[in-house]
């Protein structure tokens, strides 16, 4: 808390800094945004939050080249595909990632609210909050900013995404790949010979927890397999106007 107050005293509020950073880096590339963000004093302590999913290797590789000791937070909901756990271990070794923090929901909390592991069947939002949102917010408590892999092409809820966002006036969220297209991601992975998540080849272009992720058919939106048949489009770890995202967003919210 004292560190955050010191940043505000020196550089202004989170809102002030976000506006200034977006103006400063408006025409920069993804790699420039990430590289400069890792050096910007006004961003304070930074972590990368990674799902080690279908496209995660791009940012993980960039971090490994620029600053391999950057903290990487990986949320193990204890409902992930085994392939995701194995892929995480492969990338840690391959990219020489030096500070990957695998966080889980607290056992006592699971025992109290989801003892049978079936909460996702009756209340997916509550399950996401219990297994993902709350553990992440606890893990981010010592950080002033965090890096995400969100992109504008991923749907209407992300169509106006900026490089920098104000997260509830408490932290800055950094989206270096906001303007990248699917072809940019594919080219980067090919050019750098990066290993793909093994489930991508099996028809999973977007990968979350096993019970709530299904295969995607040709022509479908890449995220169609996430919470299929539900209005839910986000897991809830992203704030919108000070509130956790629980479903489709309309209007001017970012």
The active-site residue out of 127, 209, 212, 235 is 235
- In the residue annotation, 209 being an active-site residue is answered as no
CB-based contact 227:212 (threshold 8 Å): yes
- Measure the CA angle with vertex 46, ends 42 and 51; round to 5°: 145
Cα–Cα distance for residue pair 214/60, rounded to 1 Å: 25
- The residue behind tokens 């950080």 is 143
In angstroms, what CA-CA distances link 65 with 143, 166, 170, 172, 192? 21, 27, 29, 23, 11
Q: Quick one: which of 128, 148, 112 has its CA closest to 211?
A: 128
Burial profile 151-170: b = 16 or more Cβ within 10 angstroms, e = fewer: bbbbbebbeebbbbbbbeee
Question: What are the residue numbers of the active site?
Answer: 235
């Amino acid at each position: 808390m004292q560190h955050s107050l010191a940043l505000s005293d020196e550089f202004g509020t989170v809102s002030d800094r976000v506006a200034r950073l977006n103006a400063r880096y408006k025409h920069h590339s993804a790699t420039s945004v990430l590289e400069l963000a890792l050096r910007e004093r006004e961003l304070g302590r930074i972590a990368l939050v990674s799902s080690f999913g279908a496209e995660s290797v791009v940012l993980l590789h960039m971090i490994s080249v620029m600053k391999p000791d950057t903290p990487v937070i990986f949320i193990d909901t204890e409902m992930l595909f085994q392939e995701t756990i194995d892929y995480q271990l492969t990338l840690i070794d391959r990219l020489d990632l030096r500070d990957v923090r695998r966080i889980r929901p607290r056992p006592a909390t699971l025992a109290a609210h989801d003892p049978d592991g079936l909460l996702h069947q009756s209340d997916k939002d509550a399950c996401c909050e219990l297994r993902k949102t709350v553990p992440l917010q606890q893990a981010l408590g010592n950080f002033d900013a965090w890096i995400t892999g969100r992109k504008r092409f991923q749907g209407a809820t992300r169509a106006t995404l900026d490089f920098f966002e104000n997260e509830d006036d408490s932290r800055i969220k950094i989206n270096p790949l906001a303007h990248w297209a699917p072809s940019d991601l594919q080219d980067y992975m090919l050019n750098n010979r990066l290993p793909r998540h093994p489930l991508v080849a099996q028809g999973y272009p977007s990968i979350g927890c096993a019970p709530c992720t299904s295969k995607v058919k040709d022509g479908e939106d890449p995220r169609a397999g996430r919470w299929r048949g539900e209005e839910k489009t986000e897991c809830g770890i992203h704030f919108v106007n000070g509130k956790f995202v629980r479903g489709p967003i309309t209007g001017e919210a970012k």
